[in-house]
A and B are shown apart, each in its own frame.
Chain A
Amino acid sequence: AQKITQTQPGMFVQEKEAVTLDCTYDTSDPSYGLFWYKQPSSGEMIFLIYQGSYDQQNATEGRYSLNFQKARKSANLVISASQLGDSAMYFCAMREASYNNNDMRFGAGTRLTVKP
């Protein structure tokens, strides 16, 4: 069964600094996708970045990048140049690629607080 682990319940970072949010996963499927979502205090779930298991390069989206270490089964999110608006819950998630086994499972989340 899929398992997603986020070991940091809370993180603090100074504005304009970079921060890394940890995520490890477990799957026996060779084809899968890893996702990060942001949930601000308003409650909506916002997709940030995606990494496929066969992707050769780490995914990047603006200030977000994903440090994908397949052998270690880790998919850490790096946020560069933190802004006050980055304060939110961040969830790591994984989906396996089988059509009839493609549910998305989430980690427990990390609450990021950006300090001015």
Chain B
Amino acid sequence: DAGVIQSPRHEVTEMGQEVTLRCKPISGHNSLFWYRQTMMRGLELLIYFNNNVPIDDSGMPEDRFSAKMPNASFSTLKIQPSEPRDSAVYFCASSLEVGGPLGPSVLTFGAGSRLTVL
């Protein structure tokens, strides 16, 4: 298995530009998570999907951020317009959720996308 695949690995852009980060979860996984990591705020959950449906987007910082999951094998996180304070590492993670007495499953993380907004 190739694991969770994120692209691009590094992105440098100028303030005001649109940024799109992409994620391919592990095949068969039914939950997908977007996190942002900064020195100041640590690992923050931005949004997560179950079976391609957004469940909780309360962590999305502003209307400039949007996330989609058009199918089980692809998700995007878009920032428009980008600002310097959006500079961070953005992680995508996926899991296979079965719920019930088997309990919560392990999240497998992608390698992350490091975003720098100048």
Contacts and interface: CB of A to CB of B under 8 A. Distances in A.
Interface string A100-111: 111111111100
Looking at B31, B103, B104, B106, which has the most chain A CB atoms within 10 Å of its CB? B104
A44 B104 contact: no
Interface residues of B, number: 25
Interface string B15-58: 00000000000000001010000000011010010100001100
Chain B facing A: main interface SS: strand
A24 to B, nearest CB: 16
Given A44-B111, A100-B55, A109 B42 contact: yes
Given A43-B111, A102-B31, A96 B104 contact: yes
B104 to A, nearest CB: 4
Interface in B77-118: 89, 91, 93, 97, 99-101, 103-104, 106-109, 111-112, 114
A35 B33 CA distance: 16
